[in-house]
Each structure stands twice: as structure tokens, then as C-alpha cells.
Amino acid sequence: MNVSRNFLLLGSAFLIVGIVMGMYMGGSGDHSLALSHAHINLLGFVLSAVFALTYKAYPAMAATRLARVHFGLHLVGAVMVNLLVFLLLAQIITEAAMVPIAPISELLVLIGVLAFGWNVLQNAN
């Protein structure tokens, strides 16, 4: 698995969705999805891009199983968090309906970031 490329692809997909949502908000004047838009672009695109470039800059990090686990966790976690925030702000689900899947998804993102941090400590030389 090419972790760097996978993060770039994931980030690009988020960015396309985030920009379309931003254009919709700008065009409609309805900014109620702003927080969803922000996290699609930041948690989805910016973080994925930073991870991709880091793994490219440090091939020793990218070669580890930890990197592949990180990608899987970010893929599932960030997609789920963003989907749930969107559904909440679009008033399709209630805040109560987000439990326990939202905290679990957030935890997946966090565990992925811990794996990334550990990998930095071990292999970013």
C-alpha cells in the first residue's frame, strides 16, 4: 500500500466535497453547514495532505505497518465524523443519535494520530 498516495487521494476527495459545500453556502446564503464544511476541509483535506507529505518526506515512516493502520483509522474515522456532523447540521439526525458512533469515530481519528506521533518519534530521522 502506498500510504502517501492513499492519503493524497483521500484528501482530494474531501476537498472536492468541501469546496462544493462552500460554493453551495456562498451561493445560497445559507451558512448553517459552515462547521461541516470547515471539518471536511481541515480534518479531511488538510490533515490528510500533511500526513501524505510527511510520509513522502520520511520513507522509513511510510514503510511501517503503523502507517497503514493510521491510514485505515483516518479513512474510517474522518469519513464517519464528517458524515455525522453533516447529518446533524442538516437536521437529518439528532445529537442523541450520534452516540456512541461519534465518540468511537473521533477515537479512531485520535488513535490514528497517536500512531502517527509514535511513528514520528521512531522513524522521522
Phi, psi of 30 (to 5 degrees): -95, 105
Interface characters, 81-110, with ligand HEM (x: CB under 6 A): x------------------------x--x-
Q: Which of residues 10-69 bind ligand HEM (CB under 6 A)?
A: 18-19, 22-23, 25-26, 31, 34-35, 37-39, 41-43, 45-47
Q: Among residues 45 and 86, whose Cβ is nearest to ligand HEM?
A: 45
Cα gap 108→110, rounded to integer Å: 5
Q: What is the DSSP letter of 63?
A: T
Q: Among residues 37 and 70, whose Cβ is nearest to ligand HEM?
A: 37
Tell me which long-range contacts 101-105 makes (C-beta under 8 A, separation of at least 24): 104/80, 105/76, 105/77, 105/80, 105/81
Burial of 56 (0-12, 13-18, 19+ CB in 10 A): middle
Interface characters, 105-124, with ligand HEM (x: CB under 6 A): -x--x---------------
Residues at the site binding ligand HEM, with contacts judged by CB under 6 A: 18-19, 22-23, 25-26, 31, 34-35, 37-39, 41-43, 45-47, 81, 106, 109
